Amino acid sequence: MAKKNRYLTATMADGYVKTIGPTAAPFTHYWRIVAHVRGGKTEVFWGHAKSLREAAGKKEATKEAARQRGWERFDFEVVELTETFG
Among 2, 1, 22, 20, residue whose Cα is nearest residue 10: 20
The mean pLDDT of 32-46, rounded to a whole number, is: 95
Domain residue spans in the chain? Answer: 24-80
> Is the model's pLDDT at 2 over the cut of 70?
no
Confidence category of residue 86, pLDDT binned at 50, 70, 90: confident
Give per-residue pLDDT as tens, 49-68.
Answer: 999 999 999 999 999 999 99
Distances (CA, A) of 80 to 2, 41, 65: 28, 27, 24
CB proximity list for 57: less than 8 A, separation 6 or greater: none
- Full-prediction pTM beyond 0.75? yes
Give per-residue pLDDT as tens, 11-35.
Answer: 999 999 999 999 999 999 999 999 9
